[in-house]
Structure 1
Amino acid sequence: MDQNTNTPASGTIYADIVLPLALRQTYTFSVPEEMVNQLQTGIRVEVQFGRNKHYTGIVRRLHGKHPGYKVKPILSVIDLEPLITETQLRMWEWMAGYYCCTVGEVMAAGLPSHLKLTSETIITLGPLFSDDATQMDDQEYMIVEALTLQHELSLKDVRDILQKKTVYPVIRRLLDRRIIFLKEELQLKYKPKKLKCVRFTPAYTTEAEQIGAFELVSKSERQTAVLLEYLQLMRDKPFIRRVDLTKRTGASDAVIKAMVKKGIFEFYEHEVSRISGAEGEAGEAFDLSEQQVTALAQVQGFHEAGKPVLVHGVTGSGKTRVYLELMQAVLGQGKQVLYLLPEIALTGQIVKRLQRVLGDKIAVYHSRLNNMERVEIWKAVLAGELSVVGPRSALFLPFTNLDLVVVDEEHDSSYKQQEPAPRYHGRDVAVYLAHLHGAKTILGTATPSLESWENARRGKYGLVSMPQRFGGIAMPAIEVADLREENEKGVRHAFFTPTLINEIKATLERGEQVILFQNRRGFAPVYFCPTCDHTIECVNCDVSLTYHKYQHRLRCHCCGYAATPPEQCPACGSPEMKLGGTGTEKIEDELKIFLPDARLARMDADTTRGKNALGELLSRFELGELDILVGTQMVTKGLDFEKVGLVGIINADQLLRFPDFRADERAFQLMVQVAGRAGRKHRQGKVIIQAMEKGHPVIHDVIDEDYHRFIGRESRHRAEHRFPPYVKMIHVQLRHPKRSIVEEGAKLMGGWLKHHLRDTLDGPFEPSVARLRTYYLQEMVIRVKPDGKELNRVKGILQKAVTQLGKTERLTGVRVVVDVDPY
């Protein structure tokens, strides 16, 4: 077999192709003779699958063995070079096997839609299109001409226009040159990224003319300072942003506008590549503290021993600075880094810091980029030119020289993909990806997950502790306000204790800021009738609708259903409908009564939907334009503001009473993380935890900052009741629009599994939310010893049961969802 093309030396050539579909296997196609020398593993090809459907597939392997069924030929070769690496394909196959899904589902999740065209793909002319046809061949021109008339075309339409089956290579060329776009891309309103900049007008091009400008500004100290700063910046930067001038000199924008009126400066927009890591050069990092020096040496020692490292450092201990030191060393060797964050939208400060230090060697990759931007980064990573910071989706990028993987806030539940398949955990896939590349791994957090802690305890991971905050700043003082006691005293308010209100007032009087945490959005989670206790529920799900006051709408947070609140009870006709419970919108509303002069803002999924809404909100808070920020668990992630003096947790009991075996762990993590936002810069902060169950052991652990006590008790509880990480858990959910059919399917499948799995199977049973998005649900839970062979055996039995159910008359419509390591 040829080493470069992976093709057999002679005879008929066949290719196993991965398609972006939920298929249990790859399918084999024949390779036409003229394509033999063009194909390699990882190259995209156009194939026909089914009667009329065309897809972009990935060549997995080339061989000379006939598959035993009638094969179709590959229609066209799309790429000149492989777009997918062998390592990526191995990771896809591992994910499919471990998470009980298909390689096609992993491919569909991992590739930008620009790279996985299908017959149904809709194309349209791009915003950068011009009428110049001199650079187009005849086929390209025919497609563009048709688009000027019809505006949108499917790839099936393109085949009809060109009168040929193989159109994907033509489409690829037009996409690469941005002459056409995918329709869904344009819905993202792609625009080139532009910076607002300042430059000298043509009247000040020479050095003598620039010095002469000082005469025009001699009467204004601020204008003189701006001109001096501009000349200084000119020596080091290819372009100068307006914001840089105002920040460095303290001058307002009006000062610069006055200089524009005098003809010295002019404003313009500078277009930059969206994959640029930073707008300027890499900056210098501060000196390491003694704790950071020790931690860095320990991490390097574990890496030399070939172990992943868990860095357990309190909030504000300077973990990111340690990561930066390691990243700079790797980048200095010309190798690649992957830095994972739970949610890229919530970690803008960390991203800015990484880019400030590492410059354009690192780019941000996430779902809010349009497909052209994502493909641009994809190709740069494949060429080995770029390192990446991003959420779990960045794991799918084609790294070729990966040497370091950092998983920041490794405990965060956002790393777990819920819908659709593959239902993977980004932290665990990151560790496996690093293993495939022979790269080093760091997992960092102030509150390690029990899984990672257990791996460190057993010696599988190295453990590095950073117990002090950087700069010697004390951890925040934590106080519990007893909601039960305050209510018994007849306090005026149901969810603000006098303790919290008084501390908020004192904090604002000192000129500091406040963060308030409430883990429910909306105004009130329940809208009910006090006469007959009827609750308004979603028509699609068995959950109550949440009232949103600003929109005056009831909304389902599971499926998105919305309705106008009824003026009278649908059950008994009573006109006295009431609201129950508390959400972030209600907290914000009530605070305006207590603190009418405070500048308030709310940070939750409702207020941060726009592409730039979250960044603008955080920027206002960072600049001191806001006094109080009320938010959901968004406020616990990656925020570092020097003026935050107080953090309030409105209702800790909500976190502790959640019906999940991870409830205590998540409550501890959330409370510690949000508490860590207080007093991170110059002085000790304060945290007020409001709770009914003041004596709950988790609250005591948070107050005492005693992670070891918490983790010891939680470990004993999990081991005793057979929960992860002491068993491997597989969650099986059956879904169907009819309750009787899903119950029948669950009973039949449960019987098959029980016969083979015995006591390792719990269920089937109806979950607490028995209907979701119009589907009735039945569930089963499988607990398996954490042994690879046993886990694979159980997965094999489970897969056979799923297949058998799919062949059973009347039950073919039952959908089975398998979630390995549910989170």
Structure 2
Amino acid sequence: MFKYAGVVINSESIQLDKIFTYVIPSEYIGKLHIGHRVKVPFGKGNKIIDGFVMELYEDILEHHKLKEISKVIDEKPMISQKDLELINFMKDKYLCSYIDAIKLVIAPGILEGKKHKTLEKLYINTEVVFQGKLYKEPYINIYKIIEDNNGSFTRSDLVNLYHISLSSINTLIKHGYIIKQDSVVQRYNVKQYTSYHKKSLTEDQEKVISHIINSNKSLFLIKGITGSGKTEVYMNLAEHAMNMDKSTIILVPEIALTPQMIERFKGRFGKDVAVFHSKLSDGERHDEWHRVKNNKVKLAIGARSAIFLPFTDLGFIIIDEEHESSYKSDSNPKYNAKEIAEYKSVLYNCKVILGSATPSIDTFYRSEKSEIELLRLNNRVDSAELPKLTIIDMRDELKNNNKSIFSAELYEAMKESLDKKEQIILFLNRRGFSTFVSCRKCGYVFKCDNCDISLTYHWSGNYLSCHYCGKTMKATNTCPSCKSNYVKHFGIGTEKVEAAIKRTFPEARVIRMDLDTTRKKNSYEDIYNSFKNQEADILVGTQMVAKGLDFHNVTLVGVLAADLSLNLPDYRSNEKTFQLITQVAGRAGRGRKKGRVIVQTYLPDNYSIKLAQKYDYDGFYREEIKIRKDMNYPPFSKILSITLSSKNEDLLIKNIQNLAINLRSLLLIDDKIEILGPTPCIISKINEFFRWQIIIKGQLTQSFNKNVKEMVYETLKEVYNDIRINIDINPNNLV
């Protein structure tokens, strides 16, 4: 019999990230299992806090001063054995704490006391005969209404709908003729969707589906050009899983894509599809998690975190637009959903399908090494043509004295599309009105007081905003430095594009999709439906509009500044540029009308832009993989980023220099690993915190990464409260 339990407590402190031993009370011996949530006394004051049982022991060497578990909270364990394996995997791979990993696999909000929402409904007590002195009006009337609608009404419903006296209802309850029972309120989407009928498959689609179903391999990459029908493949795989009594998780990279996916999958499979993403309320996410846990659904669609939904019978995990960086978390644990999916494929003996028109270089490299099986969809459904893509050199536009946002060719194409009542998507990966504001007399640039970054001007509301800390200030026409009135807005964002369209094409109906217009809960769905229903002619947006969306009346796509992603200080900047252009180009010509794409750039000779014009992914991959190999960047190495931040810059610099010395001593024996830095981060200050970083690059193993983490915390243990530590493996960016 197990008499002792190893418990992880609910604490964010890195010093408490360990397993503590507790005595199991006699009443719980034989009833307590690994994964149970418990209450335990902790610290000198024996404060009662939540914990999770991670281990059980029959005996231990040291019995002195052990505390006893206070209470087992839940009837059943909250963490399964497979969850426990996943938690340990994340702790080792992503250098996170136990509790950070645990929070991903348990029900959302459970540690904050979130529960099922209940309402007190009224029922007839069938064990008591309604008679006696109360058998008269108005009690007979109340009794009859409840009898006819058993369990449908609360007391307030009866008062509001039938204008019944609350005291009369309470009198019937008091005498036992009516009983109250708590009824669980379902907080998930019960909206009815138009049927989305099964479509005839192309020969290529049938081959891909058949191969995946019949293969004994577990990892697949579907490289399908835009419009080749990858979603229909996903639907057929999900249907096959259901027929085999198995479940499917489908991940999408942007919340903006979920309305379209939900519409299609619920239109095909009905309401029993779980939806899981960050725009849902805590209560909705809690209820959806429990629908999965209670085996009420066999299919879930969601963003990154949906990978942790508690299916026990997984058949497929499908990751759409697998190249997207949003599948990697920037907060602890800094997990990659694709890596979690691959690990779960082993745990649950399921298959993982990655889909993209422009796979990440890392994924395609693995397919070349036969670690992932490559399947291709090379043709659009109905043999539709890919849209013609034209590159416009904006330097020539300036020579011709065109200083407009729109090149002459894009202007004419927009005019033609609007005349034909066809729709247009304009893509610019920068929100706001102007990218910075400065004084033309003295050169002063309006910057955030808290961050080392220029403020962005927003015309709607006439304010300046920091896109890092969120600080805002009222815009002014007076320079704070020289007091002149020569203040000007420079650069463009989506808001400025919207304003320019309204000036140039005043009759056009314009909507915008970016972070500023999608802050409200249902804003993504509202914008999607509005454009789908052709209530707008032009959709302006950031990368939210660049992928996945399927509008059959869109015949023109304009990329207004293809150079933005090229100028990022990131080894993946060419890859991101090729992907964005190819993906947004794929939004055009998806119906029966031919599509057209116009890409504006100041760097028309860049290989990523030239190859995107030809939709030549294989050619781009060959160019890019050579550079990666020469520079020893992933997939030929791994990168570990250590970022330290503090309000005390001198303290920060002194300690990161000491850390670099210690790390170099760790690296002396390994010439396959190099250390870069310490240097200030590209954005050297955010929200009053100065930021410095060290980059380690090479053949990094999990044991090496663990040693680095231990050295970081050991070196900084005296200043831990004054310096923030951020360790990230293969980070999304190095900014």
Pairwise TM-score range, normalised by the shorter structure: 0.7 to 0.9
Q: Is the 8 A contact 1:38 1:80 kept in 2?
A: no
The match for 1:817 is 726
Q: Distance in 1 between matches of 2:586 and 2:211?
A: 25
- The alpha carbon displacement at 1:793 in A equals 3.1
Q: Secondary structure at the match of 1:588?
A: helix
Q: Distance in 2 between matches of 1:61 and 1:463?
A: 41
- The alpha carbon displacement at 1:613 in A equals 1.7
Q: Secondary structure at the match of 2:82?
A: helix
The within-5 A match list for 1:289-300 is: 289-300=202-213
The match for 1:17 is 8
The match for 1:762 is 676
Q: Distance in 2 between matches of 1:318 and 1:783?
A: 39
- The alpha carbon displacement at 1:398 in A equals 1.8
Q: Distance in 2 between matches of 1:274 and 1:486?
A: 54
Unaligned runs of 5+ in 2: 126-153, 158-183
The within-5 A match list for 1:580-619 is: 580-619=490-529
- The alpha carbon displacement at 1:38 in A equals 2.9
| Residue 690, structure 1, aligned to residue 600, structure 2 | yes
The within-5 A match list for 1:723-802 is: 723-758=633-668, 759-785=673-699, 791-802=701-712
Q: Is the 8 A contact 1:522 1:584 kept in 2?
A: yes
The within-5 A match list for 1:653-668 is: 653-668=563-578
The within-5 A match list for 1:147-226 is: none
The match for 2:198 is 285
Q: Is the 8 A contact 1:392 1:426 kept in 2?
A: yes
Code of the residue aligned with 1:90 in structure 2: it is: E
Q: Is the 8 A contact 1:277 1:361 kept in 2?
A: no
Q: Secondary structure at the match of 1:656?
A: coil
The match for 1:555 is 465
67 and 822 in structure 1: CA distance in 2 versus 1, 3 angstrom threshold: farther
The within-5 A match list for 1:55-134 is: 55-66=49-60, 68=62, 70-117=65-112, 128=119
The match for 1:46 is 39
The match for 1:515 is 425
Q: Distance in 1 between matches of 2:195 and 2:203?
A: 24
Code of the residue aligned with 2:75 in structure 1: it is: L
Deviations 1:763-805 (A, max 9, x none): 11112211112111111111132xxxx5123213212212212
Q: Distance in 2 between matches of 1:645 and 1:280?
A: 26
Q: Distance in 2 between matches of 1:113 and 1:358?
A: 25
- The alpha carbon displacement at 1:499 in A equals 0.8
Q: Is the 8 A contact 2:117 2:186 kept in 1?
A: no
Q: Secondary structure at the match of 1:547?
A: strand
Pick which of 565-574 and 389-398 moved more: 565-574
Q: Is the 8 A contact 2:116 2:283 kept in 1?
A: no
The match for 2:162 is none
The match for 2:619 is 709
Code of the residue aligned with 2:10 in structure 1: it is: L
The match for 2:134 is none
Q: Secondary structure at the match of 2:409?
A: helix
Deviations 1:506-525 (A, max 9, x none): 01111100000011101001
Q: Secondary structure at the match of 1:740?
A: helix
Deviations 1:25-65 (A, max 9, x none): 22222211112233122221122333364333222222124
Q: Distance in 1 between matches of 2:191 and 2:235?
A: 15
Code of the residue aligned with 1:427 in structure 2: it is: K
The within-5 A match list for 1:461-480 is: 461-480=372-391
Q: Given the alignment, which residue of 16, 28, 31 partners 1:35? A: 28
Q: Is the 8 A contact 1:636 1:673 kept in 2?
A: yes
| Residue 395, structure 1, aligned to residue 307, structure 2 | yes
The match for 1:650 is 560
- Higher share in helix: 1
- The alpha carbon displacement at 1:75 in A equals 1.5
Deviations 1:551-572 (A, max 9, x none): 1110000110111123322222
Q: Distance in 2 between matches of 1:437 and 1:431?
A: 10
Deviations 1:198-238 (A, max 9, x none): xxxxxxxxxxxxxxxxxxxxxxxxxxxxxxxxxxxxxxxxx
The match for 2:250 is 339
Q: Is the 8 A contact 1:732 1:817 kept in 2?
A: yes
TM-score (normalised: structure 1): 0.78
Q: Is the 8 A contact 2:117 2:185 kept in 1?
A: no
Code of the residue aligned with 1:765 in structure 2: it is: T
- The alpha carbon displacement at 1:720 in A equals 0.7
The match for 1:699 is 609
Pick which of 379-388 and 71-80 moved more: 379-388
The within-5 A match list for 1:445-456 is: 445-456=356-367
Code of the residue aligned with 1:34 in structure 2: it is: E
Q: Distance in 1 between matches of 2:572 and 2:280?
A: 33
- The alpha carbon displacement at 1:83 in A equals 2.2
Q: Distance in 1 between matches of 2:372 and 2:411?
A: 44
Q: Distance in 2 between matches of 1:701 and 1:633?
A: 20
Pick which of 794-803 and 365-374 moved more: 365-374
Q: Is the 8 A contact 1:43 1:83 kept in 2?
A: yes
- The alpha carbon displacement at 1:490 in A equals 0.8
| Residue 404, structure 1, aligned to residue 313, structure 2 | no
Q: Distance in 2 between matches of 1:88 and 1:695?
A: 50
Q: Distance in 2 between matches of 1:684 and 1:73?
A: 72
- The alpha carbon displacement at 1:275 in A equals 4.2
Q: Distance in 2 between matches of 1:820 and 1:642?
A: 40
Q: Secondary structure at the match of 2:270?
A: helix
Code of the residue aligned with 2:301 in structure 1: it is: V
Q: Secondary structure at the match of 1:428?
A: helix
Q: Is the 8 A contact 2:222 2:377 kept in 1?
A: yes
Q: Secondary structure at the match of 2:693?
A: strand
Code of the residue aligned with 1:466 in structure 2: it is: L
- The alpha carbon displacement at 1:327 in A equals 1.1
Q: Distance in 1 between matches of 2:65 and 2:378?
A: 65
Q: Distance in 2 between matches of 1:125 and 1:391?
A: 23
The within-5 A match list for 1:303-702 is: 304-386=215-297, 387-419=299-331, 421-491=332-402, 493-702=403-612
Q: Distance in 1 between matches of 2:194 and 2:79?
A: 31
Q: Secondary structure at the match of 1:671?
A: helix
Q: Distance in 1 between matches of 2:41 and 2:698?
A: 41
Unaligned runs of 5+ in 1: 1-6, 135-178, 180-191, 193-270
Q: Is the 8 A contact 1:762 1:782 kept in 2?
A: yes
Q: Distance in 2 between matches of 1:782 and 1:67?
A: 40
Code of the residue aligned with 2:5 in structure 1: it is: Y
Q: Is the 8 A contact 1:85 1:398 kept in 2?
A: no
Q: Distance in 1 between matches of 2:595 and 2:193?
A: 34
Q: Is the 8 A contact 1:527 1:545 kept in 2?
A: yes
Q: Secondary structure at the match of 1:602?
A: strand
Percent of pairs with identical residues: 33
124 and 81 in structure 1: CA distance in 2 versus 1, 3 angstrom threshold: closer
Q: Cα RMSD (Å) of the superposition? A: 2.4
768 and 276 in structure 1: CA distance in 2 versus 1, 3 angstrom threshold: closer
Pick which of 614-623 and 101-110 moved more: 101-110
Q: Secondary structure at the match of 2:454?
A: coil
382 and 356 in structure 1: CA distance in 2 versus 1, 3 angstrom threshold: same
Q: Is the 8 A contact 1:341 1:391 kept in 2?
A: yes
102 and 442 in structure 1: CA distance in 2 versus 1, 3 angstrom threshold: same
- The alpha carbon displacement at 1:82 in A equals 1.9
Q: Secondary structure at the match of 2:564?
A: helix
Q: Distance in 2 between matches of 1:282 and 1:328?
A: 15
Pick which of 475-484 and 571-580 moved more: 571-580
